Amino acid sequence: MEVINLCDQNSLVGQFMSELRDRTMQQERLRFRTNIQRLGQIMAYEISKRLKYRAVEVETPLGVKQTHVLDDRVVLATILRAGLPFHEGFLSYFDGADNAFVSAYRKYFPKTDDFVVHIEYIASPRIDGKTLVIVDPMLATGSSMELAYQALVTKGQPQHIHVASVIATDQAIEVVRKRLPSHKTTVWTCDIDHELNEHSYIIPGLGDAGDLLYGEKE
């Protein structure tokens, strides 16, 4: 399984990541959402370099030019709710893609900090033979990604899987390596952090992405 960390090379990804992590800049909710979308666009472009294309001829007002267009059938899958602006960034580039949505949330046991990840909803097209891109900003423990994948493959077997995140942890990457078919999975992330706290939040991370994007939940 290949793991690609976009922060391994200097680019605008580092600028956007610094703004996302900055607790002062996080007060600007629109800016936070916009930066998540921008990272989705950048990552979509990078993933596009790995896909298959076919030659076509385009008739211009002055002649005919051969060019190449996407030949892969792409399905963009998102884990709700934090994945929505990240998904929008991808969709603005893969504008002809089919879309899938999975709801995953932490279901806490009463009077404890212990939880299980619960899948409650899935809406997806058939994904047989297609390129599946699963986007989730925070790849913390890997549990949500594993369960989302299991829910999605009830709709068929993709030819390749791209797991896309803003921040991933070593632990989550290892879970993806073990639980998803590693021979046809690529993990993309904008940065890798190495710790989780006792509540399974990424350290240093950026906080609760869903709350920063849309407001605190009850």
Name, in order, each residue with C-beta under 8 angstroms of 66's C-beta and a sequence gap of 6 or more. 55, 56, 57, 58
Cα 133 to Cα 75: distance, rounded to the nearest angstrom: 6
Cα 126 to Cα 152: distance, rounded to the nearest angstrom: 9
Whole-number percent of the chain with pLDDT over 70: 93
In the numeric block, which tokens belong to residue 30?
């629109």
Q: What is the largest CA-CA distance in the chain?
A: 72
DSSP 3-state of 16? helix
DSSP 3-state of 127? coil
State residue 61's pLDDT score.
97
Enumerate domains of the chain plus CATH numbers.
2-214 (3.40.50.2020)
| Mean pLDDT, rounded, for 36-59 | 98
Whole-number percent of the chain with pLDDT over 90: 84
Q: Is the pTM of this model over 0.85?
A: yes
pLDDT in tens, 186-213: 999 999 999 999 888 999 999 999 999 9
In terms of pLDDT, which residue wins out, 81 or 163? 163
